[in-house]
Amino acid sequence: MRIFVSISITQLNKGKVQDNTFKLPDSSFFKLARSSTFSIAIESTPFIHPTPNTLSQRDRLSKPKIKASNKPPQANGAWPIIGHLHKLSGTGLPHMTLGAMADQYGSAFTIQLGTKQALVVSSWKVAKECFTTNDRALASRPTHTTMALSRLPPIVSTGVKYTLLLGASDTTMVTLTWTLSLFLNNPHVFKKAQEELMAQVGNDQHVDESDIKNLVYLQAIIKETIRLYPPAPLSAPREAIEDGVVVGYHVPVGMRVIANLWKIQRDPSIWDDPLEFQPERFLTTYKGIDVWGQHYELIPFGYGRRSCPGIALALQVVQLILAQLLHGFELIRPSGAPVDMTESVGLTNVKVTLVEVLLAPRFPPQLYEA
Protein backbone atom coordinates (compact mmCIF):
# COMPACT_ATOMS: atom_id res chain seq x y z
CA MET A 1 0.00 0.00 0.00
CA ARG A 2 1.34 3.50 -0.82
CA ILE A 3 0.49 6.46 1.32
CA PHE A 4 0.41 9.90 -0.19
CA VAL A 5 0.68 13.21 1.55
CA SER A 6 -0.63 16.18 -0.38
CA ILE A 7 1.31 19.38 -0.38
CA SER A 8 -0.26 22.46 -1.93
CA ILE A 9 2.15 24.98 -3.25
CA THR A 10 1.43 28.61 -3.90
CA GLN A 11 4.25 29.96 -5.99
CA LEU A 12 4.92 33.48 -7.17
CA ASN A 13 6.15 33.06 -10.70
CA LYS A 14 6.95 36.33 -12.50
CA GLY A 15 4.32 38.13 -10.45
CA LYS A 16 1.64 35.49 -11.16
CA VAL A 17 0.32 33.25 -8.42
CA GLN A 18 0.42 29.54 -9.31
CA ASP A 19 -1.22 26.80 -7.27
CA ASN A 20 -0.02 23.21 -7.49
CA THR A 21 -0.76 20.12 -5.48
CA PHE A 22 1.74 17.32 -5.16
CA LYS A 23 1.55 13.95 -3.60
CA LEU A 24 4.63 13.11 -1.57
CA PRO A 25 6.96 11.34 -1.87
CA ASP A 26 7.11 12.61 -5.46
CA SER A 27 10.23 13.85 -7.16
CA SER A 28 8.30 16.45 -9.18
CA PHE A 29 7.70 18.38 -5.98
CA PHE A 30 11.39 18.70 -5.40
CA LYS A 31 11.97 19.67 -9.03
CA LEU A 32 9.60 22.60 -8.71
CA ALA A 33 11.99 24.85 -6.89
CA ARG A 34 13.09 26.99 -9.75
CA SER A 35 12.07 30.32 -8.25
CA SER A 36 13.24 31.75 -4.96
CA THR A 37 10.50 31.09 -2.39
CA PHE A 38 6.98 29.73 -2.23
CA SER A 39 4.59 28.78 0.49
CA ILE A 40 3.22 25.33 1.25
CA ALA A 41 0.35 23.94 3.21
CA ILE A 42 0.22 20.28 4.09
CA GLU A 43 -3.26 18.92 3.73
CA SER A 44 -4.96 15.75 4.72
CA THR A 45 -5.37 13.10 2.09
CA PRO A 46 -8.06 10.54 2.74
CA PHE A 47 -6.13 7.93 4.63
CA ILE A 48 -7.53 4.70 5.77
CA HIS A 49 -6.52 3.63 9.20
CA PRO A 50 -7.98 0.19 9.50
CA THR A 51 -8.49 -2.24 12.29
CA PRO A 52 -9.15 -5.94 11.91
CA ASN A 53 -12.30 -7.36 13.42
CA THR A 54 -12.31 -8.86 16.86
CA LEU A 55 -10.28 -11.90 17.79
CA SER A 56 -11.09 -15.39 16.79
CA GLN A 57 -12.25 -17.93 19.37
CA ARG A 58 -8.84 -19.63 19.48
CA ASP A 59 -7.25 -16.40 20.79
CA ARG A 60 -9.41 -16.43 23.88
CA LEU A 61 -7.95 -17.37 27.24
CA SER A 62 -9.37 -19.75 29.78
CA LYS A 63 -10.86 -17.78 32.67
CA PRO A 64 -8.43 -16.94 35.47
CA LYS A 65 -9.72 -17.06 39.06
CA ILE A 66 -10.05 -13.47 40.26
CA LYS A 67 -11.87 -11.75 43.12
CA ALA A 68 -14.18 -9.06 41.76
CA SER A 69 -14.14 -6.95 44.92
CA ASN A 70 -11.39 -4.47 44.13
CA LYS A 71 -12.75 -2.00 41.61
CA PRO A 72 -10.75 0.88 40.14
CA PRO A 73 -11.88 4.35 41.32
CA GLN A 74 -14.68 5.77 39.20
CA ALA A 75 -14.50 9.45 38.21
CA ASN A 76 -17.24 11.66 39.64
CA GLY A 77 -19.69 13.54 37.48
CA ALA A 78 -21.37 10.74 35.51
CA TRP A 79 -24.83 11.67 34.25
CA PRO A 80 -27.66 9.15 33.93
CA ILE A 81 -27.64 7.28 30.59
CA ILE A 82 -24.68 9.09 29.02
CA GLY A 83 -22.25 8.72 31.92
CA HIS A 84 -19.14 10.85 31.37
CA LEU A 85 -19.71 11.43 27.66
CA HIS A 86 -20.72 15.05 28.29
CA LYS A 87 -17.28 15.68 29.80
CA LEU A 88 -15.55 14.34 26.71
CA SER A 89 -17.67 16.18 24.19
CA GLY A 90 -17.31 19.67 25.67
CA THR A 91 -14.86 22.34 24.60
CA GLY A 92 -11.80 20.67 26.19
CA LEU A 93 -9.86 17.99 24.34
CA PRO A 94 -10.71 14.47 25.58
CA HIS A 95 -7.07 13.47 26.19
CA MET A 96 -6.54 16.62 28.24
CA THR A 97 -9.81 16.19 30.16
CA LEU A 98 -8.91 12.57 30.93
CA GLY A 99 -5.37 13.69 31.78
CA ALA A 100 -6.72 16.12 34.38
CA MET A 101 -8.96 13.35 35.77
CA ALA A 102 -5.88 11.12 36.11
CA ASP A 103 -4.26 13.79 38.31
CA GLN A 104 -7.30 13.48 40.57
CA TYR A 105 -8.09 9.75 40.46
CA GLY A 106 -4.77 8.14 39.64
CA SER A 107 -3.33 6.35 36.66
CA ALA A 108 -6.04 3.65 36.55
CA PHE A 109 -9.62 4.90 36.95
CA THR A 110 -12.91 4.23 35.22
CA ILE A 111 -15.36 6.39 33.37
CA GLN A 112 -18.84 5.52 32.17
CA LEU A 113 -19.33 5.73 28.39
CA GLY A 114 -23.08 5.27 28.05
CA THR A 115 -23.73 1.78 29.35
CA LYS A 116 -20.09 0.72 29.12
CA GLN A 117 -17.36 1.21 31.65
CA ALA A 118 -13.91 2.12 30.44
CA LEU A 119 -10.64 1.85 32.31
CA VAL A 120 -8.50 4.88 31.52
CA VAL A 121 -4.80 4.06 31.62
CA SER A 122 -2.55 7.04 32.26
CA SER A 123 0.86 5.74 33.30
CA TRP A 124 3.43 3.50 31.70
CA LYS A 125 3.28 1.06 34.60
CA VAL A 126 -0.44 0.45 34.18
CA ALA A 127 -0.03 0.31 30.39
CA LYS A 128 2.69 -2.29 30.77
CA GLU A 129 0.55 -4.45 33.00
CA CYS A 130 -2.39 -4.17 30.60
CA PHE A 131 -0.44 -5.03 27.50
CA THR A 132 2.00 -7.66 28.74
CA THR A 133 0.33 -9.88 31.36
CA ASN A 134 -3.18 -9.03 30.17
CA ASP A 135 -2.46 -8.47 26.49
CA ARG A 136 -4.38 -11.49 25.22
CA ALA A 137 -7.38 -10.77 27.43
CA LEU A 138 -7.42 -7.14 26.19
CA ALA A 139 -6.68 -7.82 22.56
CA SER A 140 -10.22 -7.28 21.30
CA ARG A 141 -11.76 -4.08 19.95
CA PRO A 142 -15.26 -3.07 21.07
CA THR A 143 -17.79 -4.41 18.57
CA HIS A 144 -19.75 -1.15 18.57
CA THR A 145 -16.69 0.54 17.09
CA THR A 146 -16.62 -2.04 14.35
CA MET A 147 -20.37 -1.76 13.79
CA ALA A 148 -20.38 2.04 13.74
CA LEU A 149 -17.54 2.05 11.30
CA SER A 150 -18.93 -0.70 9.13
CA ARG A 151 -21.05 1.84 7.29
CA LEU A 152 -17.80 3.11 5.82
CA PRO A 153 -16.29 1.26 2.87
CA PRO A 154 -14.29 -1.78 3.94
CA ILE A 155 -10.88 -2.63 2.49
CA VAL A 156 -9.98 -6.20 1.91
CA SER A 157 -6.29 -6.77 2.31
CA THR A 158 -4.50 -10.13 2.33
CA GLY A 159 -7.68 -11.87 3.28
CA VAL A 160 -8.31 -9.79 6.41
CA LYS A 161 -11.32 -7.53 6.46
CA TYR A 162 -10.38 -4.13 7.81
CA THR A 163 -12.74 -1.45 8.94
CA LEU A 164 -11.91 2.19 9.37
CA LEU A 165 -10.56 3.06 12.79
CA LEU A 166 -9.50 6.63 12.59
CA GLY A 167 -11.88 7.66 9.78
CA ALA A 168 -10.40 9.63 6.94
CA SER A 169 -7.68 11.07 9.11
CA ASP A 170 -4.09 10.77 8.20
CA THR A 171 -1.75 10.04 11.05
CA THR A 172 1.24 10.40 8.74
CA MET A 173 0.11 13.85 7.61
CA VAL A 174 -0.50 14.81 11.24
CA THR A 175 3.03 13.78 12.21
CA LEU A 176 4.51 15.80 9.35
CA THR A 177 2.48 18.88 10.24
CA TRP A 178 3.53 18.85 13.89
CA THR A 179 7.18 18.25 12.99
CA LEU A 180 7.21 21.14 10.51
CA SER A 181 5.60 23.41 13.10
CA LEU A 182 8.15 22.42 15.72
CA PHE A 183 10.95 23.09 13.23
CA LEU A 184 9.61 26.57 12.59
CA ASN A 185 9.38 27.32 16.31
CA ASN A 186 12.82 25.82 17.04
CA PRO A 187 15.24 27.08 14.38
CA HIS A 188 18.26 25.65 16.26
CA VAL A 189 16.80 22.14 15.86
CA PHE A 190 16.20 22.77 12.19
CA LYS A 191 19.77 23.99 11.71
CA LYS A 192 21.22 20.98 13.51
CA ALA A 193 19.14 18.59 11.38
CA GLN A 194 20.42 20.30 8.24
CA GLU A 195 24.01 20.01 9.46
CA GLU A 196 23.45 16.29 9.96
CA LEU A 197 22.09 16.03 6.41
CA MET A 198 25.09 17.87 5.02
CA ALA A 199 27.46 15.57 6.93
CA GLN A 200 25.66 12.33 5.99
CA VAL A 201 24.35 13.11 2.50
CA GLY A 202 26.29 16.16 1.30
CA ASN A 203 25.16 18.76 -1.20
CA ASP A 204 25.78 16.95 -4.46
CA GLN A 205 23.18 14.19 -4.25
CA HIS A 206 19.59 13.62 -3.17
CA VAL A 207 18.57 12.00 0.09
CA ASP A 208 17.93 8.34 -0.46
CA GLU A 209 16.09 5.78 1.68
CA SER A 210 19.45 4.20 2.50
CA ASP A 211 20.56 7.48 4.18
CA ILE A 212 17.79 7.38 6.79
CA LYS A 213 19.58 4.98 9.15
CA ASN A 214 22.43 7.52 9.47
CA LEU A 215 20.13 10.44 10.27
CA VAL A 216 19.92 9.80 14.00
CA TYR A 217 19.14 13.39 14.93
CA LEU A 218 16.24 13.48 12.46
CA GLN A 219 14.95 10.24 13.95
CA ALA A 220 15.21 11.80 17.42
CA ILE A 221 13.22 14.82 16.20
CA ILE A 222 10.41 12.58 14.95
CA LYS A 223 10.36 10.61 18.21
CA GLU A 224 10.19 13.82 20.22
CA THR A 225 7.39 15.14 18.00
CA ILE A 226 5.21 12.07 18.45
CA ARG A 227 6.04 12.00 22.15
CA LEU A 228 4.59 15.49 22.61
CA TYR A 229 1.91 15.23 19.91
CA PRO A 230 0.95 11.56 19.50
CA PRO A 231 -1.19 11.41 16.33
CA ALA A 232 -3.64 9.13 18.19
CA PRO A 233 -3.54 10.69 21.70
CA LEU A 234 -6.13 8.25 23.02
CA SER A 235 -5.27 4.82 21.74
CA ALA A 236 -8.04 2.93 19.98
CA PRO A 237 -10.13 1.23 22.70
CA ARG A 238 -9.64 -2.41 23.58
CA GLU A 239 -12.23 -4.63 25.23
CA ALA A 240 -11.64 -7.27 27.88
CA ILE A 241 -12.71 -10.69 26.64
CA GLU A 242 -11.70 -12.30 29.95
CA ASP A 243 -11.70 -11.14 33.55
CA GLY A 244 -8.31 -9.79 34.51
CA VAL A 245 -6.39 -7.89 37.16
CA VAL A 246 -4.59 -4.63 36.39
CA VAL A 247 -2.49 -3.06 39.17
CA GLY A 248 -4.61 -4.95 41.70
CA TYR A 249 -7.94 -3.82 40.24
CA HIS A 250 -10.50 -6.21 38.83
CA VAL A 251 -11.15 -5.64 35.11
CA PRO A 252 -14.29 -7.58 34.16
CA VAL A 253 -15.22 -8.99 30.77
CA GLY A 254 -16.63 -6.26 28.53
CA MET A 255 -14.77 -3.36 30.14
CA ARG A 256 -13.16 -1.01 27.64
CA VAL A 257 -9.56 -0.03 28.09
CA ILE A 258 -8.36 3.32 26.77
CA ALA A 259 -4.74 4.35 27.10
CA ASN A 260 -4.08 8.07 27.31
CA LEU A 261 -0.86 8.07 25.29
CA TRP A 262 -0.65 11.85 25.45
CA LYS A 263 -0.64 11.76 29.27
CA ILE A 264 1.79 8.82 29.50
CA GLN A 265 4.25 10.49 27.15
CA ARG A 266 4.29 13.73 29.17
CA ASP A 267 4.72 12.05 32.56
CA PRO A 268 7.05 14.24 34.67
CA SER A 269 8.17 11.22 36.72
CA ILE A 270 9.68 9.75 33.53
CA TRP A 271 10.63 12.68 31.34
CA ASP A 272 12.85 15.60 32.33
CA ASP A 273 11.18 18.87 31.28
CA PRO A 274 8.29 16.81 29.86
CA LEU A 275 6.62 19.68 28.03
CA GLU A 276 9.81 20.89 26.34
CA PHE A 277 10.68 19.94 22.76
CA GLN A 278 14.17 18.46 23.22
CA PRO A 279 15.06 15.92 20.49
CA GLU A 280 18.56 15.66 22.01
CA ARG A 281 17.10 13.66 24.90
CA PHE A 282 16.88 10.64 22.54
CA LEU A 283 20.61 10.87 21.86
CA THR A 284 21.56 11.17 25.53
CA THR A 285 19.43 10.40 28.62
CA TYR A 286 16.73 8.48 26.75
CA LYS A 287 18.95 7.03 24.06
CA GLY A 288 17.71 3.45 24.35
CA ILE A 289 14.01 4.33 24.13
CA ASP A 290 12.28 3.66 20.83
CA VAL A 291 8.69 3.84 19.58
CA TRP A 292 8.29 0.15 18.70
CA GLY A 293 6.09 -0.73 21.66
CA GLN A 294 8.84 -2.11 23.89
CA HIS A 295 9.21 0.99 26.05
CA TYR A 296 5.92 1.79 27.70
CA GLU A 297 6.96 5.40 28.35
CA LEU A 298 6.75 6.04 24.60
CA ILE A 299 4.01 4.13 22.80
CA PRO A 300 2.59 6.37 20.04
CA PHE A 301 1.90 3.24 17.95
CA GLY A 302 0.33 1.30 20.80
CA TYR A 303 1.58 -1.94 22.30
CA GLY A 304 1.16 -5.66 22.34
CA ARG A 305 -0.56 -7.79 19.76
CA ARG A 306 -2.96 -5.04 18.61
CA SER A 307 -0.25 -2.42 18.21
CA CYS A 308 -0.01 -0.53 14.93
CA PRO A 309 1.07 -2.77 12.03
CA GLY A 310 1.80 0.33 9.94
CA ILE A 311 4.65 1.55 12.14
CA ALA A 312 7.54 0.71 9.81
CA LEU A 313 5.78 2.21 6.80
CA ALA A 314 4.73 5.32 8.71
CA LEU A 315 8.23 5.97 10.05
CA GLN A 316 9.81 5.36 6.66
CA VAL A 317 7.47 7.80 4.90
CA VAL A 318 7.78 10.52 7.54
CA GLN A 319 11.55 10.24 7.77
CA LEU A 320 12.10 10.32 4.02
CA ILE A 321 9.78 13.25 3.35
CA LEU A 322 11.27 15.33 6.15
CA ALA A 323 14.83 14.47 5.15
CA GLN A 324 14.13 15.53 1.55
CA LEU A 325 12.42 18.76 2.61
CA LEU A 326 15.15 19.76 5.03
CA HIS A 327 17.91 18.84 2.64
CA GLY A 328 16.51 20.81 -0.26
CA PHE A 329 14.95 23.83 1.37
CA GLU A 330 15.18 26.48 4.04
CA LEU A 331 11.95 26.72 6.03
CA ILE A 332 10.88 30.26 6.84
CA ARG A 333 7.90 31.51 8.84
CA PRO A 334 6.14 33.97 6.51
CA SER A 335 4.75 36.08 9.33
CA GLY A 336 7.75 35.75 11.60
CA ALA A 337 5.36 34.94 14.48
CA PRO A 338 5.60 31.59 16.33
CA VAL A 339 3.44 28.82 14.88
CA ASP A 340 0.25 28.27 16.88
CA MET A 341 0.49 24.81 18.46
CA THR A 342 -3.16 24.44 19.51
CA GLU A 343 -4.48 20.89 19.18
CA SER A 344 -7.98 20.16 17.94
CA VAL A 345 -10.76 17.77 18.90
CA GLY A 346 -10.75 14.53 16.94
CA LEU A 347 -9.54 10.98 16.84
CA THR A 348 -6.25 12.16 15.42
CA ASN A 349 -4.38 15.03 16.96
CA VAL A 350 -4.77 17.58 14.19
CA LYS A 351 -3.42 21.10 14.56
CA VAL A 352 -6.16 23.74 14.69
CA THR A 353 -4.44 26.02 12.20
CA LEU A 354 -2.67 25.23 8.93
CA VAL A 355 1.10 25.54 8.95
CA GLU A 356 2.24 28.33 6.71
CA VAL A 357 5.81 28.02 5.66
CA LEU A 358 8.00 29.55 2.99
CA LEU A 359 10.36 27.14 1.31
CA ALA A 360 13.53 28.62 -0.12
CA PRO A 361 15.64 26.31 -2.30
CA ARG A 362 19.13 25.72 -0.94
CA PHE A 363 20.76 24.44 -4.14
CA PRO A 364 21.04 25.63 -7.75
CA PRO A 365 17.93 24.88 -9.86
CA GLN A 366 19.58 22.10 -11.91
CA LEU A 367 19.95 19.96 -8.78
CA TYR A 368 16.18 19.83 -8.38
CA GLU A 369 15.85 18.69 -11.99
CA ALA A 370 17.87 15.54 -11.40
Size of the site for ligand HEM (CB under 6 A): 26
Does residue number 328 form part of the binding site for ligand HEM (CB under 6 A)?
no
Does residue number 179 form part of the binding site for ligand HEM (CB under 6 A)?
no
- Cβ–Cβ under 8 Å, residues 123 and 11: no
Phi, psi values for residue 116, rounded to 5° = -100, 140
DSSP-derived 3-state class of residue 162: strand
Among 7, 24, 42, 51, binds ligand HEM (CB under 6 A): 51
Strand residues in the chain grouped as ranges (E): 5-13, 16-24, 38-43, 50-52, 108-113, 116-121, 155-157, 160-164, 238-239, 244-246, 249-251, 256-259, 329-332, 357-361
Stretch 82-121: interaction string toward ligand HEM, x if CB under 6 A: ----------------------------------------
- Cβ–Cβ under 8 Å, residues 32 and 20: yes
Nearer to ligand HEM, 142 or 361 (CB): 142
Restricted to residues 215-244, the positions that interact with ligand HEM (CB under 6 A) are 231-232, 235-236
> Given the DSSP bridges, would you call strands 116-121 and 256-259 parallel, antiparallel or unpaired?
parallel
Stretch 118-157: interaction string toward ligand HEM, x if CB under 6 A: -----------------------x----------------
Nearer to ligand HEM, 128 or 141 (CB): 141
Restricted to residues 294-313, the positions that interact with ligand HEM (CB under 6 A) are 300-303, 306-310, 313
- Cβ–Cβ under 8 Å, residues 137 and 244: yes
Nearer to ligand HEM, 72 or 231 (CB): 231
| Residue 351 exposure: Cα atoms within 13 Å on the Cβ side | 23
CA angle 223, 227, 230 (to 5 degrees): 110
CB of 198 to ligand HEM, least distance (A): 27
10 Å Cβ neighbour count for 268?
A: 9
Among 112, 117, 171, 278, binds ligand HEM (CB under 6 A): 171
CB of 170 to ligand HEM, least distance (A): 8
- Cβ–Cβ under 8 Å, residues 263 and 95: yes
Name the residues that contact ligand HEM, by CB under 6 A.
Answer: 1, 3, 49-52, 141, 165, 171-172, 175, 231-232, 235-236, 300-303, 306-310, 313-314
